Amino acid sequence: MKLASKKIRFRLDGVEVTSFHEYDEHISKLLILYKEHLDEALAPIFFEKYKKMMNKKYKGYTCIPLPSSSEKVAQRGFHHLHRMIESLDLKMVDILVKTKNVKQAKLSKEERKRIDMIFEIKENSECSFDKVVLIDDVCTTGASLKAAIALLRPHCKYLCAVTFAYHPLWKTDAV
């Protein structure tokens, strides 16, 4: 399966988000194989094509992956975002925890928009950063990224985000 790159940048609550692929049936199938059918061997392919660019652009940044619920991580046996980004030469800090086990794929677009603070900063975490890049697999409505942005903005000088894929609605907000 060849994935066509359709890189865009858009703003979400004032934060620049870079995303590499438009979410379509191929991306959906790939993520289902990886996350739901537990095909952990697929992990390296997500950001491999962008590894050199990301290592250069985000050198000196702290990479913070959006969290999965502890139940989902236990069920899979791995944290899907950690595995997706572990081959990058970026300092990863795992300071966010998911407080509500919400399966966004089962929510309507309007219900997703109403998700507030579904994350919190782990207790006793050092969270003073110069530059942070948030990492997520897919930006659909932006609710998860917005929650992470709201939590981390006061703790860093510069904040941006990277997602593997984006919902087509973000094309209208591209910068």
Catalogue all structural domains in the chain, each as residue range(s) with its CATH number: 8-173 (3.40.50)
Q: Is 12 helix (H, G, I), strand (E, B) or coil?
A: strand
Q: Give the tens place of pLDDT for each residue, 155-173.
A: 999 999 999 999 988 766 6
- pLDDT bin (cut points 50, 70, 90) of residue 88 is very high
Q: What is the mean pLDDT of residues 117-126?
A: 86
Q: What is the pLDDT of residue 114?
A: 55
Q: What is the mean pLDDT of residues 89-118?
A: 72
Burial of residue 86, with CB atoms counted within 10 A of its CB: 0-12 exposed, 13-18 middle, 19 or more buried: middle
Cβ atoms within 10 A of the Cβ of 153, count? 13
- pLDDT bin (cut points 50, 70, 90) of residue 23 is very high
* Least confident stretch, 2-16, 64-78, 144-158: 2-16
Q: What is the pLDDT of residue 125?
A: 87
Instruction: Transcribe 98-162 into DSSP letters.
Output: E-S---GGGS-HHHHHT----EEEPTT----EEEEEEEEEEESSSHHHHHHHHHHGGGEEEEEEE
Q: Give the tens place of pLDDT for each residue, 50-87.
A: 999 999 999 999 999 999 988 999 999 999 999 999 99
Kindly tell me if the per-residue pLDDT of 26 is higher than 80.
yes
Q: What is the mean pLDDT of residues 149-153?
A: 94
DSSP one-letter code for 172: G
